[in-house]
A and B are shown apart, each in its own frame.
Chain A
Amino acid sequence: MLDLTYETPKPKTIAGARHDWELVIGMEVHAQVASNAKLFSAASTEFGAEPNSNVSFVDAAMPGMLPVINEYCVEQAVRTGLGLKAEINLKSAFDRKNYFYPDLPQGYQISQLYHPIVGEGEVLVEMGDGTARLVRIERIHMEQDAGKSIHDMDPNMSFVDLNRTGVCLMEIVSRPDIRGPEEAAAYIVKLRQILRYLGTCDGNMQNGNLRADVNVSICRPGDYEKYQETQDFSHLGTRCEIKNMNSMRFIQAAIDHEARRQIAIVEGGGTVDQETRLYDPDKGETRSMRSKEEAHDYRYFPDPDLLPLEIDQDWVDDIQARLPELPDEKKARFIKDFGLTDYDASVLTAEVEAAAYFEAVAKGRDGKMAANWVINELFGRLKKEDHDITESPVSPAQLGGIIDLIAKGDISGKIAKDLFEIVYKEGGDPAEIVEARGMKQVTDTGAIEAAVDEIIAANPAQVEKAKQNPKLAGWFVGQVMKATGGKANPKAVNEIVSARLGL
Chain B
Amino acid sequence: MSIDQNTAAKVAKLARIKVEEDALPALASEFNTILGFIEQLGEVDVEGVEPMVSVTPMRLKRRADVVKEGGQQDKVLSNAPDAREGFFAVPKVVE
Contact = CB atoms under 8 A, between A and B. Distances in A.
Interface of A: 35-37, 41-44, 50-57, 60, 68-74, 93, 98, 100-102, 149-151, 153-162, 278, 289, 291, 295, 297, 299, 302, 306-310
A151 B73 CA distance: 20
A293 to B, nearest CB: 12
Contact of B91 (A44, A157, A307): A157
A24 B86 CA distance: 44
A431 B16 CA distance: 75
A68 B65 contact: no
A297 B76 CA distance: 30
Nearest to A295: B14
Contacts of A72: 64-65
B93 A158 contact: yes
Nearest to A296: B14
Contacts of B71: 53
Contacts of A51: 73, 85-87
Nearest to B68: A42
B48 interface: no
A411 B59 CA distance: 67
A124 to B, nearest CB: 31
A56 B70 contact: yes
The CB with the most chain A CB atoms within 10 A, among B16, B60, B82, is that of B60
B90 A44 contact: no
A418 B94 CA distance: 57
A220 B84 CA distance: 54
Contact of B65 (A36, A56, A278, A291): A36
Contacts of A68: 61-63
Interface in B22-55: 53-54
Interface residues of B, number: 36
Given A52-B87, A158-B89, 18 more contacts: A42-B68, A52-B73, A52-B76, A52-B86, A53-B70, A53-B73, A55-B72, A69-B60, A69-B61, A71-B63, A72-B65, A102-B93, A157-B84, A159-B90, A160-B87, A160-B90, A306-B60, A307-B60
B21 interface: no
A308 B93 CA distance: 35
A191 B16 CA distance: 39
B92 interface: yes
Nearest to A45: B67
B60 A310 contact: yes
Contacts of B3: none
A162 B76 contact: yes
B1 interface: no
B85 to A, nearest CB: 7
Shortest beta-carbon contacts, A-B, top 3? A72-B65, A159-B87, A56-B69
B62 A37 contact: no
A160 B89 CA distance: 6
Contact of B93 (A37, A52, A73, A149): A149
A292 B14 CA distance: 12
29 contacts: A36-B65, A37-B65, A37-B66, A42-B63, A42-B67, A42-B69, A43-B70, A52-B87, A55-B72, A55-B76, A69-B60, A69-B63, A70-B65, A71-B62, A98-B14, A151-B92, A151-B93, A157-B82, A158-B91, A159-B85, A159-B87, A161-B88, A278-B95, A289-B95, A295-B14, A297-B14, A306-B60, A309-B60, A310-B60
The CB with the most chain A CB atoms within 10 A, among B62, B63, B95, is that of B63
A160 B69 contact: no
B88 A162 contact: yes
Contacts of B90: 102, 157-160
B60 to A, nearest CB: 4
A150 B70 contact: no
Contacts of B14: 98, 295, 297, 299
A44 B65 CA distance: 10
A73 B65 contact: yes
Given A52-B76, A157-B92, A307-B53, A43 B69 contact: yes
The CB with the most chain B CB atoms within 10 A, among A35, A37, A52, A162, is that of A52
Nearest to B54: A307
B4 to A, nearest CB: 16
B73 A50 contact: yes
A435 to B, nearest CB: 51
A233 to B, nearest CB: 27
Contacts of A297: 10, 14
Given A295-B14, A309-B60, A161 B66 contact: no
Contacts of B63: 37, 42, 68-71
Nearest to B63: A68
A213 to B, nearest CB: 14
Given A36-B65, A71-B62, A156-B92, A44 B87 contact: no
